[in-house]
């Protein structure tokens, strides 16, 4: 498995070997030894495993969780294709407001690690795009927040050849600057502290 740091501190892309033969393929999207060597600690106790299925053009995000407790994520694509965006929403971070992206699909079997406090979004490039997540905390609605995915200051480069489909929640979400004024963004130092704890909330 190969690891590549992304522009956002603590976020990484992981690309495993894909073993194929006449029967199909076998792949291990998460390998703890490589993850620990790269990040400096194990992933986290997985509290929840989830997946989403999206048609072409669906945008999910930008989502982040209140800190504390925060939520670390490890995401990979089981079917279809997605462009995954990691956005630094941590107040006080040296890369605050910056983003990076990774193309996820089952052929490359790439995965992304989204550390605590960092925002996450993907857009489905194909119908039936299925994204699987390993999560460090369970979903609690009142802890979950969103940034508008079309925030002009972020200027995320979505594919121009598709109609974007947003949820009502994401369509009504504040911009990053508005969320900052509202005081709902995660604190950088606290996010780093929680991300390094053995129990991760």
Among all residues, which ones are annotated catalytic? 63, 133
| Measured distance CA(32)–CA(19) in Å, rounded | 19
d(CA 103, CA 76): 10
β-partners of residue 27 are 18
Say how many C-beta atoms besides its own lie within 10 A of residue 152's C-beta: 8
- Which helix (H) or strand (E) is 182 found in, with range? helix 176-182
DSSP-derived secondary structure letter, 143? G
- Separation of alpha carbons 137 and 135, rounded Å: 6
Question: Strand, helix or coil at 141?
Answer: helix
């Amino acid at each position: 498995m190969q690891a590549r740091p992304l522009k956002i501190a603590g976020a990484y892309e992981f690309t495993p070997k894909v073993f194929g033969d006449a029967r199909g393929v076998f792949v291990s999207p998460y390998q703890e030894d490589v993850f620990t060597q790269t990040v400096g600690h194990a992933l986290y106790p997985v509290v929840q495993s989830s997946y989403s299925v999206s048609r072409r053009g669906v945008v999910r995000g930008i989502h982040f969780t209140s800190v504390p407790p925060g939520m670390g994520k490890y995401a990979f694509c089981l079917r279809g294709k997605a462009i995954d965006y990691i956005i630094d929403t941590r107040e006080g971070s040296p890369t605050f407001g910056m983003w990076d992206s990774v193309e996820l699909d089952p052929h490359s079997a790439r995965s992304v690690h989204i550390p605590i406090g960092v925002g996450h979004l993907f857009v489905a490039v194909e119908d039936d795009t299925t994204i699987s997540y390993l999560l460090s905390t369970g979903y609690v609605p009142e802890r979950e927040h969103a940034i508008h995915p079309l925030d002009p200051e972020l200027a995320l480069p979505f594919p121009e050849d598709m109609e974007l489909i947003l949820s009502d929640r994401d369509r009504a979400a504040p911009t990053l600057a508005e969320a900052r004024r509202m005081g709902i963004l995660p604190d950088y130092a606290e996010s780093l502290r929680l991300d390094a704890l053995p129990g991760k909330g």
